[in-house]
Amino acid sequence: MPKIEKIGVLTGGGDAPGLNAVIRAVVKAAHNAGVAVIGLEDSFDGLVYTDKARELRPSDVTGILRRGGTILGTVNRGNPFLAPITTPEGTFDYSDRVLEMFQRLGLSALVCIGGDGTLAISYEFYKKGVPLVGVPKTIDNDIVGTTSCFGFDTAVSFATDAIDRLHTTAEAHHRIMVAEVMGRYAGWIALHAGVAGGADVILIPEIAYDLEKVAECIRARERLGARFSIVVVAEGARPKGGTVSVVEAATEGQVERLGGAGAACAAHLETLTGKETRYVVLGHLQRGGAPTAFDRTLATRFGGKAVELILNGQFGKMVANHPPDIVPVPLGEVTGKFKTVPLDYDLLLTARAIGVSFGD
């Protein structure tokens, strides 16, 4: 195996708290092993344009452990392989350009930190001969092969705090309060934050809901003297026989933007129950701010493991959390799939057992 002297690191897809903690761990672990690190800006754009790559030394990553976002920037543009790319140097086939720039920068390997889209692009480049290791990131926690991704714990903590705060108004005004949380294909955030926040109803993409059932749950609470209800709805939840709420349609290579699930539920529940109902969309607030201690440690472990895999020549792998270990799993086994909440997941069953309605 050729000696590893210089590696590149990039972040792609939507940001998640903990990206900077991974970058920091990669830079420090590599530096301590005598390997230089090049930070590539705005995902694979760092391997397309000539002004988007810079050396990262340990002093460049001091103090970023607790910062949200990513010091490298990121893009969430869908499938870049679909069109040629134009730079000040000319127009190129996308993958040819990335391969050429990888050589030009003298890189031995890449650490690609991202969600399903970035990991899928990374896998394509691995198959074209780029030695790389993937690091899974998403607040949605829907990447297969790993029990958790950094960012999820922070998002759940934030959403739980928000639900706690909604209880105040719900109780004071005897209202239904609906909180729309992220979760495009999977209801992990809604389920965990919903249970942690004491929600009465949790609507997730895995279980198509019937709002009449939800309304009945709320009426039953009323009969028992509870004059308010908290509903948590994942953005990707859909009514039985209906579709997800979309604010922007999909374009070629780009998935649709979701939004409106909370508003739709709130309007219908008000009609069905006659109770005053309000909704909030937590949106990107869930992706912002400082990572929790759990996410900082998971991100640091992922970064350290990614460098270890590169030094051992274990490419084409994604680092994964398999408690108590961080292990490599083949990228080919994780791309193109989503880890949804199993219907027999113990937290889901427990939520049902304590009376939470899933609208089914």
List contacts with ligand F6P (CB under 6 A).
Answer: 14, 76, 115, 138-140, 182-184, 235, 257-258, 287
Cα(164)–Cα(199) distance, integer angstroms: 9
Q: How far is the CB of 61 from ligand F6P (least distance, A)?
A: 24
Q: Which residue is nearest to ligand F6P (CB)?
A: 182
Question: By C-beta, is 102 or 152 nearer to ligand F6P?
Answer: 152
Q: What is the 3-state secondary structure (H, E, C) of 86-108?
A: EECCEEECHHHHHHHHHHHCCCC
Q: How far is the CB of 22 from ligand F6P (least distance, A)?
A: 16
The tokens for 333 are 């086994």
Question: By C-beta, is 14 or 328 nearer to ligand F6P?
Answer: 14
Cα(125)–Cα(132) distance, integer angstroms: 8
Cα(256)–Cα(249) distance, integer angstroms: 5
**Rg of the chain over all Cα atoms, to the nearest angstrom:** 22
The tokens for 101 are 């720039």
Q: How far is the CB of 202 from ligand F6P (least distance, A)?
A: 16
Do 142 and 338 contact (CB within 8 A), yes or no?
yes
Q: How far is the CB of 200 from ligand F6P (least distance, A)?
A: 23
Kindly state the DSSP code that residue 33 receives in the 8-state scheme. T
User: What type of residue sits at position 39?
Assistant: G
- Residues noted as catalytic: 140
**Strand, coil or helix: 352:** helix
Q: How far is the CB of 249 from ligand F6P (least distance, A)?
A: 14
- Phi–psi pair at 282, nearest 5 degrees: -75, -25
